[in-house]
């Protein structure tokens, strides 16, 4: 019944939405317009993310919004998203529209985020991208977050050890490693293309340091701290001006 429900959702979406030639959603080089994405991992992972590119193939710019629809999920799981700004799980519709120019792709604005909060199970959420001025200009993607018991699936991150302030940031961030770590740790910050923009070697234990972000472009970055054992913690950082 669950698969039938999702199939019906995708069928209706494809009938109502524009052709893939007009509005294209891409995830990891795969077109997912009116399609599904399956992401798996262990419940010990703090959060999972999916960065989806949005391409406007029309001859004119469009003002796009995003609507979130939760189809099913574990009681404690939290679905949230970023559309230019990052919103809390309670937000179902992006308050602001983002302009996508004609024949252009927005690679940075949308990120879907799922936090299992200790719950094993599958969360299913649909994201609809639509124009505020043309209800027929829309496309959807359904994401399955399949969370298994500890030790199953790829390990993305361990328990959080990072605090960042301010976040969103402008000219600088102060990073605090708030839990005990052993050995030498490597801290890096990468952009949405996976390029390292800042890096530093930090000592074990509680530690605080400041990074200048004034020369970075506005957007979403990821601060990663890896210890000698290979364990990694990840914190999303938003640079905004």
Q: List pLDDT tens digits, range 43-87.
A: 888 889 999 999 999 999 999 999 999 998 888 889 999 998 888
Confidence category of residue 155, pLDDT binned at 50, 70, 90: very low
| Whether residue 77 sits in one domain with residue 26 | yes
Give the global pTM.
Answer: 0.60
Full domain range(s) for residue 73: 2-148
Looking at residue 226, its pLDDT comes to 72
Q: Name the domain count of the chain.
A: 2
User: Among the listed ranges 19-23, 138-142, 157-161, which one has the minimum average pLDDT value?
Assistant: 157-161
**Residue 154, domain member (yes or no):** no
Express as a percent the part of the chain with pLDDT over 90: 39
| Whether residue 177 sits in one domain with residue 123 | no
Q: List pLDDT tens digits, range 203-212.
A: 766 778 899 9
Q: Is 123 left (phi over 0), alpha (psi -120 to 50) or beta?
A: beta
For the residues of 45-71, what is the DSSP string, one character each? -S-EEEE-EEEE-SSS-EEEEEEEEEE
| Whether residue 29 sits in one domain with residue 144 | yes
**Residue 201, domain member (yes or no):** yes
Coil/strand/helix, residue 4: helix
Confidence category of residue 25, pLDDT binned at 50, 70, 90: very high
Q: List pLDDT tens digits, range 97-117.
A: 999 999 999 998 999 999 998
**pLDDT, mean over the chain:** 81
Coil/strand/helix, residue 89: coil
Output the CA torsion sign for 239, 31, 58, 12: negative
1/37: higher pLDDT:
37
**Residue 116, domain member (yes or no):** yes
**Residue 156, domain member (yes or no):** no
| Whether residue 209 sits in one domain with residue 126 | no
| Whether residue 172 sits in one domain with residue 141 | no
**Residue 44, domain member (yes or no):** yes
| Whether residue 7 sits in one domain with residue 125 | yes
Confidence category of residue 181, pLDDT binned at 50, 70, 90: low
Q: Which CATH number covers residue 182? A: 2.60.40.3080
CA 193 to centroid of chain Cα atoms: 13
């Amino acid at each position: 019944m669950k698969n039938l429900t999702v199939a019906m959702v995708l069928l209706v979406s494809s009938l109502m939405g524009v052709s893939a030639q007009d509005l294209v959603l891409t995830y990891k080089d795969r077109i997912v317009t009116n399609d599904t994405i399956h992401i798996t991992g262990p419940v010990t992972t703090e959060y999972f993310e999916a960065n989806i590119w949005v391409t406007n193939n029309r001859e004119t710019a469009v003002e796009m919004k995003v609507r979130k629809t939760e189809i099913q999920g574990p009681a404690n799981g939290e679905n949230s998203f970023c559309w230019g700004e990052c919103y809390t799980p309670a937000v179902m519709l992006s308050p602001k529209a983002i302009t996508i120019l004609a024949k252009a792709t927005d690679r940075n604005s949308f990120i879907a985020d799922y936090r299992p909060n200790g719950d094993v199970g599958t969360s299913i959420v649909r994201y609809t991208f639509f124009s505020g001025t043309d209800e027929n200009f829309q496309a959807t993607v359904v994401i399955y977050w399949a969370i298994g018991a500890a030790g199953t699936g790829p390990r993305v991150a361990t328990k959080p050890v990072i605090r960042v302030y301010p976040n969103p940031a402008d000219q600088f961030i102060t990073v605090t490693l708030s839990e005990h770590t052993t050995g030498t740790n490597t801290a890096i910050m990468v952009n949405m293309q996976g390029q390292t923009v800042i890096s530093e070697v930090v000592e074990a234990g509680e530690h605080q340091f400041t990074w200048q972000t004034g020369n970075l472009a506005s957007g979403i970055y990821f601060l990663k701290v890896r210890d000698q054992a290979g364990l990694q913690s990840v914190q999303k950082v938003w640079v905004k001006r």
